[in-house]
Amino acid sequence: MHINEHSHRTPTIGLTPLIDVVFILLVFFMLATRFGAWQDLPLQVSSTATTPVASDSEIRHIKVLGEDRVQLNDESMDLAALRRALTTDNRQPTRVTAADDASVQAMLQVVDVLQDAGLQDARLELMR
């Protein structure tokens, strides 16, 4: 009597479907995960024709120079000094511009300082 030895092998589980499922789960979790704390920046955009224009002497001007450096009315300072300077008057109109080499991150840091100080009238001017 001849016994076929190949028919007595234990069945193996294929790894290819398992790897497919793992990659599908990986893609799902990558798309469903929030990698940072996202928040909205409330900005109001209005037409220049309907916006009342204040004189230059009444407007506080902030120029973003770079990481942690700004100019407040032509006086250079860091963000901590800007935060202290903004606590005196929250209602004064403020214009924020950026230097040519300033990053978007530096601009957003200044916007965060303005929000923390409770500024009520701030305009971002983006130059091209």
Q: What is the CATH number of the domain that holds 70?
A: 3.30.420.270
User: 63 forms bridges with which residues in the sheet?
Assistant: 71, 97
For residue 36, tell me if it sits in a domain.
no
Closest CA to 62 of 18, 106, 27, 30: 106
Has residue 106 been placed in a domain? yes
Structurally, the chain folds into a number of domains equal to 1
Q: What tokens were used for 108?
A: 């957003």
Give yes or no for a contact between 66 and 103, defined as CB atoms under 8 angstroms apart: yes
Strand order across the beta sheet in which 94-98 lies = 75-78, 69-72, 60-66, 94-98, 122-124
Token pair 């991150």 in the structure block, residue: 105
**Residue 65 lies in domain:** 60-124
User: Residue 115, SS3?
Assistant: helix
Residue 104 domain-assigned (yes or no): yes
pLDDT of residue 10: 74
**pLDDT per residue rounded down to tens, the chain (128 residues):** 666 666 666 777 788 999 999 999 999 999 988 777 666 656 554 444 444 555 666 788 888 887 888 888 888 888 888 888 887 766 778 888 888 888 888 888 888 888 888 876 778 776 65
